[in-house]
Structure 1
Amino acid sequence: MHMTDAEFESAVEDALAGVPERFRAALDNVGIAVADEPDEREMDSMCDPDGELLGLYEGVPITQRTSAYGGVMPDVITVFKGPHERLCATRDEMVREIRTTVLHELGHYFGFDDEYLHAHGY
């Protein structure tokens, strides 16, 4: 399945817009980015070197921020277009997977680990 860059970015924005307001309001010092493919450093963060990296959270989860947290670069959630295109056969499937990826990476921002997120469908 292929999406234009604009369609992919719009699907990511729609996924963010679907996050309940109380969680969106808690987002602080975090940016959302879209990239075509993960680079080597980003791929090295994966537990399964043969898998696809759909998204990546890099930063300090809010559950680990202390009163000393400040003056730091923003956290970044990156959603990768190429892996989504390779894994999804239809537009609807891709939109659902983008939403799942966004929610998964936001879960890391809120302090949840991969085990918890996968156990709950993210």
Structure 2
Amino acid sequence: MPLDLAPVAFDRLVEEALDSLPAEIAARVVNVVLLVEDDAPPEDPDLLGVYDGVALTERAANHAGDLPDRIVLFRNNLLAMCNSPEELADEVRITVVHEIAHHFGIDDARLHDLGYA
């Protein structure tokens, strides 16, 4: 049975995950918004999160002026996969780190090696 957690409480877990980032990493996450949506897109219904943007390693020198990159977490999928509030907090943190890693150009294979995939 999926966890039941109010959206405000879920948002707090996301904030805690962001606050747990090392300062030197957090300082380099610029022009990125983190959003929470209830459901993943129908074309990929099992996603926990997604990075939508251009990784820092792939940006042109004139990248300035573009809209912010987006990280989207899918609340219902995260709730459905966890059996306790502690497990949910861990999974939210892992998903946030995973998506921020994509912002830095780290691919899924390397994330898997690091334990984040």
Shorter-normalised TM range: over 0.9
* 1:61 matched to 2:63: no
Taking the aligned partners of 1:96 and 1:52, their CA distance within structure 2 comes to 18
Q: CA offsets per residue over residues 50-85 of structure 1, 9 Å max, x none?
A: x72100000001111121212211100011110011
1:94 is aligned, of 74, 88, 95, to: 88
TM normalised by structure 1 equals 0.89
Query: Does the Cα contact within 8 Å between 2:17 and 2:92 map onto a contact in 1?
Result: yes
Q: How many residues align?
A: 114
> 2:37 is matched with which residue?
35
Unaligned runs of 5+ residues in structure 1 are 44-50
Taking the aligned partners of 1:29 and 1:71, their CA distance within structure 2 comes to 10
RMSD over aligned Cα, in angstroms?
1.2
1:1-122 to structure 2, matched below 5 A, reads 1-40=3-42, 43=44, 52-122=46-116
Query: Does the Cα contact within 8 Å between 2:78 and 2:88 map onto a contact in 1?
Result: yes
Taking the aligned partners of 1:110 and 1:2, their CA distance within structure 2 comes to 32
Taking the aligned partners of 1:85 and 1:24, their CA distance within structure 2 comes to 25
Unaligned runs of 5+ residues in structure 2 are none
Q: CA offsets per residue over residues 67-118 of structure 1, 9 Å max, x none?
A: 1212211100011110011100111000000000000000000100011111
TM normalised by structure 2 equals 0.92
Taking the aligned partners of 2:106 and 2:19, their CA distance within structure 1 comes to 21
What SS is found at the alignment partner of 1:40?
coil
